[in-house]
Structure 1
Amino acid sequence: MQPPLFLVVTALAGALGAAEPAKAPAAPKKDPAKKPAAAAPAKAAPAKAEAPKPAAPAPKAPVLPADDFGKASADLKDKNPMVRRRACDELSRLRDPRAVPLLLPALSDESPFVRSAAVDSLGLLRAPEAVGPVTALLTKDPEAQVRQQAAIALAYLGAKQSEDALIAALGDKETSVRYAAVRTLGALRSAKAEAQITALLKDADSGMRRVAAGTLGQLRSAASLGPLTGLLKDEDPYTRREAVRAIGSLTGDGVKEALLKALADADEATRIHAALALNRFGAPEGEKAVVDLLKSADAAVRLQASNALGTIATKDVGLPALVKAADAEKDAAVKNQFAFAARQVRARLGLPEPEAAPK
């Protein structure tokens, strides 16, 4: 007996349903009006621990100055003469009076370079106990360099008691020693040496004549006027200039006349020196002579003339000459100097500066 038809259909439908795979549930529909939720912020990484900073270094101890005196003192005994010489120089630089007893033995050093440096240092230190030994070196040392330095040092030492040795040194065979001796005798104002120095005005060396004239100017002896006036005829213009300066330092009859003669010198610079010296006599000739030199072809002479007028120019002669020369001058440097000299004159005479021209 066959089963009823509806049972067969029902069974077949069940078999088919069992064979078909199950469908996944449908995803819910998104609401277009609804914004998606923001993503959660990422967690920050934990901060790393900073490494400890190194400790600040301990302050350094201050550098102490070297014991320059001690080193120089020790170097005086060095085997190398150049080291000993530098030690003498260093001790003079330090200006420490403790160096005097250390330097005195160096006057007998076997090296002339060391002896010379020791003499120089003792002079700069103004060591009175060095006068005797230094004077002995001027007289007896075999090296001209040491004798010359000894003569110079005696000027620093103010060693009037060394006049005789210095006068004797005027006859030294070395010119450098003679030069130093003349200058020191002038610095010491040695009237005792006047005759010997006056004799040097006739020396064959123009430089020696010039130095002798300058020294006589320092001595300021009226007796030297005649010999110095004779030197105004010297062939060397530099010697004549020095003679004029020396005459200008003297007082007494005949000084003004000698300077007036020098205004006619062929050397322009000699005329300027004469004019400056005449200023103390109130002689107008000097000012006029310098005014003429404002027109010199030599720019250096024009500059010297303007410098002199800055000192001696008067309101009615030198000052208007400077103003006129400044207007005509082509050299810018000289023109500026002329204008500066004019301002000097106004300031010296208490005159107002002219008002600037309107632009």
Structure 2
Amino acid sequence: METPEEKLASPNLGDRLSAVGALRDIPAEHSVALLVKAAQDDNARVRYAAVSLLGQKEDRSVLGLLRTLLTSDPEFDVRAAAAAALGDLHAQEAYEDLAAAFAQDNEWLVRFSILAALGELGDRRAVDLLVTALKGDPLIRTVAAGALGQLGDRRAVGELVAYIADEDWQLRFRIAQALGELGGEEACSALQTLAADPNDAVSSTARSALEQLAQ
């Protein structure tokens, strides 16, 4: 039976994809080097599969590669996977790379993944960028709201409260979650309003948040 290393050297795409899949459950010390090789494969599907796994390996030696792929890979799904992996690794040193990529990349999936990663990073430098995203593309506003909650910076409360009557219930839902994470008097007041929201998911989330904050 061929090893993952042997399969990665195969000219057959199926073999190389199979090799990456086999590395999922192998400890980092035995898999990261092979995933790094796969992340530079000529085929975008192989690169995407490998990059998606690198964030799960908790090996920060791959940060340089991920930062490069974030801005230089020709395939948007690979760039998005690189952003997600940087978030998984809580790589605050990649904040500037993520912010620059958000400003330059027009693919919504990449931008979505960058905002989600910024929430995972926990770097409060991202507040202004996330607030700006909250005011923009409907496809990414919800993830911006969620990321603001993750950051835990109460400077964002007023910005989130401004959208509690937005017509998009999914945005109101994420705002209820975020306000529950942020807390404070202004957040609680807004959550009381959201607790009467006509959408059940929004109202129940707001009520649960209020209960948690009252403990």
- TM-score (norm: length of structure 2): 0.90
- Shift, 1:127, TM fit: 2.2
Mapped partners of 1:252, 1:96: distance in 2: 41
Which structure features the higher share of helix residues?
2
Mapped partners of 1:190, 1:223: distance in 2: 13
Alignment of 1:80-229 (within 5 A): 80-171=12-103, 172-205=105-138, 207-229=139-161
Contact 2:28 2:59 in 1 (8 A): no
Mapped partners of 2:88, 2:211: distance in 1: 33
- Shift, 1:255, TM fit: 2.0
- Shift, 1:225, TM fit: 0.8
Secondary structure at the counterpart of residue 210 of structure 1: helix
1:304-333 CA-to-partner distances (Å, cap 9, x unmatched) read xxxxxxxx9xxxxxxxxxxxxxxxxxxxxx
Contact 1:201 1:231 in 2 (8 A): no
Letter in 1 for 2:25: R
Alignment of 1:333-348 (within 5 A): none
Mapped partners of 2:38, 2:147: distance in 1: 32
- Shift, 1:281, TM fit: 5.2
- Shift, 1:161, TM fit: 1.1
Letter in 2 for 1:156: D
Mapped partners of 1:163, 1:238: distance in 2: 27
1:176-203 CA-to-partner distances (Å, cap 9, x unmatched) read 1111111111111121111111111112
- Does residue 253 of structure 1 match 2:185? yes
Contact 1:138 1:151 in 2 (8 A): yes
1:248-280 CA-to-partner distances (Å, cap 9, x unmatched) read 111333122212222332323322222222224
Secondary structure at the counterpart of residue 164 of structure 2: helix
Letter in 1 for 2:91: A
How many residue pairs get matched?
A: 214
Question: What is the identity percentage for the equivalent residue pairs of Structure 1 and Structure 2?
Answer: 34
1:195-240 CA-to-partner distances (Å, cap 9, x unmatched) read 11111111232x4111111111101111111111011021111211
Q: 1:262 to 1:123 in 2, by over 3 A?
A: closer
Mapped partners of 1:125, 1:274: distance in 2: 35
- Does residue 277 of structure 1 match 2:209? yes
Mapped partners of 1:218, 1:75: distance in 2: 40
Letter in 2 for 1:167: A
Give the aligned partner of residue 9 of structure 2. Answer: 77
- Does residue 264 of structure 1 match 2:196? yes
Of the structure 1 ranges 220-229 and 83-92, higher mean CA displacement relative to structure 2 is found in: 83-92
Letter in 2 for 1:267: N
Letter in 1 for 2:137: A
Which protein, 1 or 2, shows the higher relative CO under an 8 Å CA cutoff with sep ≥ 6? 2
- TM-score (norm: length of structure 1): 0.56
- Shift, 1:160, TM fit: 1.6
Where structure 2 has 5 or more consecutive residues not aligned to the other structure, the ranges are none
Secondary structure at the counterpart of residue 42 of structure 2: coil
Aligned-residue CA RMSD (Å): 1.9
Structure showing greater radius of gyration is 1
